[in-house]
Structure 1
Amino acid sequence: MTNTAAVDVCVYGGTAAGCVAAMAAHQEGASVVLVEPGRWLGGMLSSGIKPLQDCPLPAAVGGLTGEVILGFGNEPRSVLRAFHEWIESADIEVVFERRVRSVSSEGNRITAIRLETSRPDKWGVPLPASESVPDIAIKSSVFIDASYEGDLMALAGVPYRTGREPQDAFGEEVAGVRPVTNWTPIDPYMIAGDTTSGLLPLLHPDHGLPVGAGDDYTQAYNFRFYVTTDPARRVEFTAPDDYSADGFELVRRYVEHLGSDLEALRGVFPGWLNSGEYNYQRASLITNAPLGTSRAYQDGNWDTRSRLWRHHIDYLRGLHHFLSTDPSVPEEFRAEMSRYGLDAAVFPDTEGWPPQLYVRVARRLEGRYTLAHADVLNQNDHSDSIGLALFGVDVYPVRRIPHRDSETGRLGVATEGDMFIGGHMGTGRPYPIPYRAITPQQSDCGNLLVPVCLSATHIAYAATRMEPVFCVLAESAAVAAVQSLRERTDVQGIDMRKFRARLAERGQVLDFSDPEPAGRTDPESPGRPDQESAG
């Protein structure tokens, strides 16, 4: 690619949604470039999540997502290969190891984006901003931000939200700060009983806001990783350079509380075995991801994000080392943990580490319509539906804090923010996502579509944020982008009748009439959907 390239549609982010958007725009006759900050396509679908894992009702998924993506298999290496081969088969140009640095605009339209270098390290950690240098520019008539972070949107000056809205902002009873979960009678202070000694590492001070108040926290991120004891595949979990057992004193006290309960200890590490890979065990006070760090990631620069990405890796390394070596851990469990290593056969490019951190939510567009809990509950009809979503409100814990039990008066430690409302099937009926939720206000930007960081409250996003949904919305976004080119109008001004007719021709499912949809189809799903989730 030359120093400045010009295309009809620029898709930013090689997530699964970004790949679908690029393919759909190509199929609609546009020239396309796909920009991916890393070296891998597919996002979380190439990093542990299975295409069908968060799709409890495949009949509600149409278009390329149903025809192609759901058939990519379940093994991350094969899914990754399928995404690369799919994009290569259409000869779509991909710019790897570049991310957006700045955005140029005229009036309400983006004219170009300037990229910077962003080569990840050997474990997939993104390049810090301080080490990046300016690179090529891309001019395009329409832009689609399909990244998990929404950087193109933000740099274009389009308004967005982060954190948790209060209950009264959108009439959501379950919004904002939530009652604590996983309360455990553990002393939270460095010196037990001494409140002046400071909180233990891995705890956050309680901000003291009441249930229902808004704040700037968001749900936990983690890796969907694989472990093995097979010497031919095993990569050792080495301890971080700055490892100190003192940093895991809270873990020591929790292990002491659990005693010899090996199953509960496994909830700390490796976590919850989902569909071959390990996920966050939300029923455990401590598990395989740090809490509270996503708060800084969601609107941070790449110095901050790179540091936090590495922190997730080092937390896992340190936790594994502690549980494998510390004499406070039951000997049988120490021996079990010491046998585990990362499975390099699953993610060979990054020495067993998944190449994508599971960024469950970051920025959220302030668009022409904001999805709220009422939409998830199917209480609103939308004539501009561009696809369906179907999942419960799925929020992983946001904080781990000291908390005094209201009944006993005892001081302990608890998590806060965790909820899973409605199970995998949500309300049991798919709900429509309006076109207005992926388009900014026209005065903010007339040639940008945002199918991943869409316009939704923290609560509604927690139900909508599943990879198949992102893919469905991305295909619709690409069709809208090409139609806006042909009609010579902003994306907000396209002919909706013509647009929805074209989506239907492509096989998109825009409404759902089956009053009794079938149950979850993933045979590897957990057996207690009211307590665990795939997301």
Structure 2
Amino acid sequence: MLKKLLLCLIFSGFLGAYADTIKTDVVVVGGSASGVAAALQCARSKVKTILVEPGPWLGGEMTSGAMCIVEGNRALPSGIWGEYYKKVHQHYNKTPGYDTTARVPLRFEPQVGAAILKKMTDTVKNLTLKLNTSWKAVRKNGTGWELTITENGRTNTIHAQVLIDATETGDVATKAGVPFISGFDSRETTGEALAPEKAIPVIQDITWMAILKDYGSAADRTLLKPEGYDPARYECLKGKDLLRLVKGGKLANDKYMIKWSECANSYPTSVDLLSPEHREKYYHDMRLRTLCLVYYLQTAGGLKNFGLDEDFPTPDHLPSIPYMREYRRSTGRVRMVLDDIYTPYSRSSKLYRTSIAVGDASPGQHFVDARGPKTNYPPFPAYSVPMGAVVVKGFTNLLVTEKSISTTHLVNASTFYPSVQMAIGQGAGTIAAYCAFYKTTTDHLNVRAIQGELLDFKGYLLPFSDVALNDANFRAIQQVSATGLLQGIQHPEGKTASVLFKPDTLVYTAEIKPVLDEIYTRGFLWFNKEKPGEQFTVGNLLSFISEITLSEPKPLQTNLAKQWQSIYHFKQLFDLNRPVTRREFAVLANKYLNPFARTIDLSGKLVN
């Protein structure tokens, strides 16, 4: 009996020696585009962060899923996304035939993209990266969270103040008990004119990519005939120039991304098929179908010299995960709908004021299922993503990214893109870092403080494509526009619409008066007294500044006359009677009136 007890004690001590409790400020689960950005931002904001990724690569669908031609947000190089875009171009700068022109779609080999992200994480203090580490369980612990992980054959527990679920499938939040919705929302539920009358339980197809490499005309890289191969499945490809189609996905170093719809390698899916219970078999079957497509190209298509790129660390050399456009959406503190994109300034809620990210990706519509209606989107504008969309309602200190953010189906059709998600991840990381640094919770967020931190790290709040990050007035323009004083101007370009600030155009009284009245209690009195004309003048602006700041008018005018070009470098001469430009208004309002300092809630309303 004593011997058994002794053995038990020794054994339990042995297990204890190989199980740790790890304390950190923030834990991010999922090395997706958003997960890497979130972890980087947390660490750069000087809070201890752990990034847990079950696989060997960082980047999620951009790398492990081979979605490595990224078109969205190339005109909006916000923060970490802009940094990544630049590093990829630097890597390929001397590669023959690689286009590093500004604003071209980003193209990279998946393993190169993963290596760049790994290097970015390696150079940051306060960040611990755990690759090849699975998670088992998650549970609430006071206002914080506990995550059970398995690494190097042992089970450890991470205690964190804030948890970010950056998985493509939202599995962590699901395990934590978060309720989800999926499919097309009804018009009655969302108020979106483009939504169907009734909800439809259909989600967008997945694509299991393939990266092919041209091994030279003499090579024969034909696969062994895959199980279940049926050439009749590819009827839609008959008569098409398959070589031309392949080369449409050109990457560097004679490699090509295969991302085709119709009968090729995009497949119908459902919430049930993607559930943890059925996912493994479904993934196996879809991988096999992509192998069949490759075999078809090599045999019926005569492209035997195009073989699978062998850089993926998988037995079949296919990406380890699919490119997933949609799955489940959580209920956040706010829900982003289409009107927040098309008409952000005329809504009762002002969610653009709470922005943590920007996007401009054209909405995708990929449905084999005939029940999925095609939506006739008007030209789709660039937009801001509200803070409350990543904050899960009813779950303190839990943030979500990827397909789990709180949007409608019609909005998710754009926000799921990896480049947009990288911007969203940085925003989520800023929120998490705020909670950790100030020892508070997501119930007590200071929107302006969080946005200020994001601006410190070159993030965008408003999607102005005509005011670059290196513009000396970038921050002033972003901050003033985040109050609604100066509104973005949509400029349709085919199926999309860029959003412009137009810094050299004039300020109209009708635009700024409602917000000035809202923010400043004496604004109404000033307008009644001064009665400015249709165009707001430099003199009007200085008079308003004098009224609100209680500054003497003459000294204010004298100082600004001296500083107009020497300090502010404004193009036009100082003239009190001249209409003020939007740039001049933004810079001076930001400095003297500081409307960005006014506290707002997660709906964008002012808090007195």
* 1:67 partner letter: E
By how many angstroms is 1:83 displaced?
1.1
Are residue 315 (structure 1) and residue 332 (structure 2) matched? no
Are residue 364 (structure 1) and residue 324 (structure 2) matched? no
2:421 aligned residue (451, 466, 470): 470
| Aligned counterparts, 1:208-219, within 5 A | 212-219=197-204
1:394 aligned residue (358, 361, 364): 364
Mapped contact 2:73–2:359 kept (Cα < 8 A): no
> CA separation in 2, counterparts of 1:102 and 1:115?
7
Are residue 340 (structure 1) and residue 318 (structure 2) matched? no
1:447 aligned residue (368, 388, 397): 397
By how many angstroms is 1:66 displaced?
1.6
> CA separation in 2, counterparts of 1:487 and 1:46?
34
> CA separation in 1, counterparts of 2:78 and 2:287?
36
> CA separation in 2, counterparts of 1:416 and 1:435?
29
1:124-149 alpha-carbon deviations (Å, 9 max, x no partner): xxxxxxxxx98322111111111111
> CA separation in 2, counterparts of 1:464 and 1:341?
33
> CA separation in 1, counterparts of 2:492 and 2:70?
13
TM-score (normalizing by structure 1): 0.71
Report the secondary structure of 1:394's partner residue. Answer: coil
The 1:79/1:273 distance shift into structure 2, 3 A limit, reads closer
2:113 aligned residue (79, 83, 86): 79
The 1:164/1:19 distance shift into structure 2, 3 A limit, reads same
Are residue 94 (structure 1) and residue 129 (structure 2) matched? yes
The 1:304/1:272 distance shift into structure 2, 3 A limit, reads farther
Give the aligned partner of residue 286 of structure 1: 263
1:161-183 alpha-carbon deviations (Å, 9 max, x no partner): 2222223321234335xxxxxxx
* 1:290 partner letter: Y
The 1:221/1:270 distance shift into structure 2, 3 A limit, reads farther
By how many angstroms is 1:35 displaced?
0.3
By how many angstroms is 1:79 displaced?
1.4
The 1:446/1:335 distance shift into structure 2, 3 A limit, reads closer
> CA separation in 2, counterparts of 1:389 and 1:378?
15
Give the aligned partner of residue 15 of structure 2: none
By how many angstroms is 1:462 displaced?
0.7
1:54-112 alpha-carbon deviations (Å, 9 max, x no partner): 22423xx32222234543242322211111111122253222223332222146x4420
1:482-518 alpha-carbon deviations (Å, 9 max, x no partner): 2212333212312222222222222211124556789
Mapped contact 2:72–2:359 kept (Cα < 8 A): no
Give the aligned partner of residue 30 of structure 1: 47
Mapped contact 1:105–1:111 kept (Cα < 8 A): yes
Give the aligned partner of residue 512 of structure 2: none
The 1:251/1:140 distance shift into structure 2, 3 A limit, reads same
> CA separation in 1, counterparts of 2:307 and 2:316?
11
CA RMSD of aligned residues (A): 3.3
> CA separation in 1, counterparts of 2:109 and 2:198?
41
By how many angstroms is 1:479 displaced?
1.8
* 1:341 partner letter: G
Q: Which moved more, 1:384-393 or 1:511-520?
A: 511-520
By how many angstroms is 1:237 displaced?
3.2
> CA separation in 2, counterparts of 1:499 and 1:149?
27
The 1:336/1:416 distance shift into structure 2, 3 A limit, reads farther
> CA separation in 1, counterparts of 2:265 and 2:407?
28
Q: Which has the higher contact order (CA 8 A, sep 6+)?
A: 1
| Aligned counterparts, 1:5-84, within 5 A | 5-47=22-64, 48-50=66-68, 52-58=70-76, 61-73=77-89, 74-84=108-118
By how many angstroms is 1:13 displaced?
0.5
Mapped contact 2:26–2:49 kept (Cα < 8 A): yes
Q: How many residue pairs end up in the alignment?
A: 427
* 1:397 partner letter: F
By how many angstroms is 1:12 displaced?
0.6
2:446 aligned residue (478, 483, 495): 495
> CA separation in 2, counterparts of 1:451 and 1:322?
37
Give the aligned partner of residue 262 of structure 1: 240
Give the aligned partner of residue 375 of structure 1: 340
> CA separation in 1, counterparts of 2:219 and 2:57?
21
Mapped contact 1:51–1:468 kept (Cα < 8 A): no
2:206 aligned residue (187, 199, 221): 221
By how many angstroms is 1:418 displaced?
5.0
* 1:445 partner letter: F
Mapped contact 1:165–1:175 kept (Cα < 8 A): yes
Give the aligned partner of residue 537 of structure 2: none
Mapped contact 1:166–1:214 kept (Cα < 8 A): yes
> CA separation in 2, counterparts of 1:45 and 1:233?
29
Report the secondary structure of 2:364's partner residue. Answer: strand
Report the secondary structure of 1:353's partner residue. Answer: coil
> CA separation in 2, counterparts of 1:233 and 1:437?
51
TM-score (normalizing by structure 2): 0.63
Are residue 166 (structure 1) and residue 217 (structure 2) matched? no
Q: Which moved more, 1:94-103 or 1:45-54?
A: 45-54
Mapped contact 2:70–2:418 kept (Cα < 8 A): no
Mapped contact 1:227–1:234 kept (Cα < 8 A): no
1:405-443 alpha-carbon deviations (Å, 9 max, x no partner): xxxxxxxxxx854558457xx22xx211111101012xx
Report the secondary structure of 2:224's partner residue. Answer: coil
1:296 aligned residue (272, 277, 283): 272
By how many angstroms is 1:472 displaced?
1.6
Unaligned runs of 5+ in 1: 120-132, 177-211, 326-333, 402-414, 521-527, 531-535
Mapped contact 1:38–1:98 kept (Cα < 8 A): yes
Mapped contact 2:47–2:436 kept (Cα < 8 A): no
1:150 aligned residue (138, 159, 170): 170
By how many angstroms is 1:458 displaced?
1.1
> CA separation in 2, counterparts of 1:135 and 1:281?
41
The 1:228/1:50 distance shift into structure 2, 3 A limit, reads closer
Mapped contact 1:235–1:352 kept (Cα < 8 A): no
* 1:76 partner letter: P
Mapped contact 1:347–1:354 kept (Cα < 8 A): yes
Report the secondary structure of 1:492's partner residue. Answer: coil
Q: Percent identity?
A: 21
Give the aligned partner of residue 385 of structure 1: 355
Report the secondary structure of 2:207's partner residue. Answer: coil
Mapped contact 2:32–2:61 kept (Cα < 8 A): yes
Structure with the greater alpha carbon radius of gyration? 2
2:139 aligned residue (99, 104, 118): 104
The 1:416/1:158 distance shift into structure 2, 3 A limit, reads closer
By how many angstroms is 1:322 displaced?
5.2
Structure number with the higher helix fraction is 2
